[in-house]
Amino acid sequence: SVHGRFKGDVAVDGNTLVVNGRKIRLTAVKDPAELQWGEVGAEIVIESTGL
């Protein structure tokens, strides 16, 4: 990338991406209607399936 290498810590723990100790839940479903929006309290949603 034009920004160079990320100098922080990145790991995956099950369905969680951990970046510098901050946990980010990962979800993968075929039908977006199946997502539990109220359960996660999402402030930002990234749709990257190409639907």
Number of domains, the chain = 1
Residue 26 lies in a domain: yes
Q: What is the chain's percent helix, strand, coil content, to nearest 5?
A: 15, 25, 65
Q: Please report, in tens digits, the pLDDT of each residue of the chain (51 residues total).
A: 688 999 999 999 999 999 999 998 888 888 878 888 778 787 887 777 776
Residue 50 lies in a domain: no
Residue 16 lies in a domain: yes
* Geometric angle at alpha carbon 2, from 25 and 45, rounded to 5°: 25
Residue 51 lies in a domain: no
Residue 19 lies in a domain: yes
Residue 4 lies in a domain: yes
pTM, entire model: 0.63
Domain, as residue range, for 16: 1-45
Residue 9 lies in a domain: yes
Question: Considering only CA atoms, which of 24, 2, 5 is closest in space to residue 13?
Answer: 24
